[in-house]
Amino acid sequence: MIVADRKKIPEIRDMVQGHNRILVVGCGTCVTVCLAGGERETGIIGSALRMSLKLAGRENVTVHECTIERQCEDAFIDVLGQRVGEYDAILSLGCGAGVQALAERFPKTAVYPGLNTQFMGILESQGVWAEKCAGCGNCRLGQYFGICPITRCSKKQLNGPCGSSRNGKCEVSEQTDCAWQLIYDRAKSLDKVAMLESIAVPQDWSTSNDGGARKVVREDQCIAGMGPKA
């Protein structure tokens, strides 16, 4: 899932200055699970923003809250429909994709981010989320026994480990596992250590963040005559 955390209230307050009617929109998908922008957090940020604006002498600003199931998909944004017309700004508590989806859908309404989108990751333990995927577009997890060196090795080394792996930890921080130690341990438990002796070819970065924003197109799923958006 996409992991995010909230911006500080003063930053949000400064962003929305000049607006008199603000709709805080939460998202019921990834950011609900990572406790950053779900219904509960939408209430918290809405309440905090109202208080902050009042203390800044802007008592007359209206701040309302609502949460939709998924901000990154047009069909789910439908429920906001005409309601948005009553506001002059939206504070989105979705990830970066959600913020942009709302901005595309409502060209005449200012849209601001209430969260800092961090990464694609998993819940490591209660309250701790860890980055696992860089979305490079050319997955080689099969070659590395299910541990991604691009995301989890600080040097993104495809042929590791480097000389700074100590007791299973990375030189960057004692809290950071050495991805190559994890890869080796996993290879060992699968009895495939020999596979690590071959040299891995360089990554083809053309599938990553290269040449502008990427698109995945499934022609068979596109509605006839509409095709992918230009």
* Interface residue list for other proteins (CB under 8 A): 8-10, 40, 43-44, 47-48, 50-52, 54-55
The single-letter DSSP state of residue 81 is: G
Which is nearer to other proteins, 36 or 183 (by Cβ)? 36
Is the omega angle on the peptide bond into residue 107 within 30 degrees of 0, that is, cis?
no
Which is nearer to other proteins, 44 or 120 (by Cβ)? 44
What contacts 58, CB < 8 A, 6 or more positions away? 17
Which is nearer to other proteins, 51 or 172 (by Cβ)? 51
Q: What is the rounded CA–CA span in Å between residue 112 and residue 20?
A: 14
Shortest approach of other proteins to residue 6 CB, angstroms? 9
Shortest approach of other proteins to residue 112 CB, angstroms? 17
Shortest approach of other proteins to residue 56 CB, angstroms? 8
Shortest approach of other proteins to residue 177 CB, angstroms? 26
Q: What is the rounded CA–CA span in Å between residue 135 and residue 147?
A: 14
Which is nearer to other proteins, 48 or 123 (by Cβ)? 48
Which is nearer to other proteins, 42 or 151 (by Cβ)? 42
224 residue type, one letter:
A
Shortest approach of other proteins to residue 186 CB, angstroms? 34
Q: Are 6 and 114 in contact (CB under 8 A)?
A: yes
Which is nearer to other proteins, 48 or 133 (by Cβ)? 48
102-to-8, 16, 79, 84, 91 alpha-carbon distances in Å: 21, 16, 12, 10, 10
Shortest approach of other proteins to residue 60 CB, angstroms? 13
Secondary structure E strands in 8-151: 21-27, 62-68, 89-92, 110-113, 115-125, 128-133
The single-letter DSSP state of residue 187 is: H
End-to-end CA distance of the chain: 27
